[in-house]
Amino acid sequence: MKIALMMENSQAGKNAVVYNELTNVVAPLDHAVFNVGMSDENDHHLTYIHLGIMASILVNSKAVDFVVTGCGTGQGAMMSLNIHPGIVCGYCLEPSDAFLFNQINNGNALSLAFAKGYGWGAELNVRYIFEKAFTTGERGQGYPLERAEPQQRNAGILNEVKAAVVKENYLDTLKAIDVELVKTAVTGERFQQCFFEHCQVPEIEQYVRSLLD
């Protein structure tokens, strides 16, 4: 699995801790982590709005399989990601949130709160969240197990409803966004490295290159 970690300006100072905990959890599983957001306060400036654009490009181009993100409360990043096609982002404050989201909703992104409740032992909570998110076996199995069938059915219906209310062609959706927002989202060096090395949809790659040119 390829996992993108992306953090915005208000919480960029915590990136090293979060990246370290995520890498330590998923490296034994042979998952790759791409640190594509801000690594400190002086890095390429991003807001949670840019995170949604970045996540949508990486996931819809199949450059990554999963996104870990967040902001001060986690709410803004979650909303920003969820407005985009192909993204199902859960809100995660504690390890049980990560487990239940994976088993019931089976999404492809998690948004964490990196300021609210981020106190003593915060790195432990982050580590345990990642353990429940990535080391608890097959996803989408339902919880409790006797509720698995309706949960799986409803998760599929939700994805169908979302697909119906966004543009059929992902590029149409991307091109409808303010071009300056998209340019800022794709300008980061680490984002570009991840995207261009792993993008599997030539049409999306061509559009991103046109913005950078």
The pLDDT value given to residue 167: 66
- Domains of the chain plus CATH, in order, are 2-212 (3.40.1400.10)
Confidence of residue 166 (pLDDT cuts 50, 70, 90): confident
pLDDT at 137: 82
The candidate with the shortest Cα–Cα distance to 117, out of 128, 126, 109, 108, is: 126
Q: 48-60 and 189-198 are packed helices; what angle lies between their axes, rounded to 10 degrees?
A: 20
Lowest-pLDDT range of 10-19, 31-40, 126-135, 148-157: 148-157
Question: What is the model's pLDDT at position 142?
Answer: 87
Stretch 164-180: mean pLDDT, rounded? 88
Average pLDDT, the chain: 95
Distance CA 189, CA 111 (A): 23
Q: Exposed/middle/buried for 137, CB within 10 Å: 0-12, 13-18, 19+?
A: exposed
Structure token digits, residue 62: 């199949």
- Band of pLDDT at residue 190, cut at 50, 70 and 90: very high
Over residues 115-134, mean pLDDT: 94
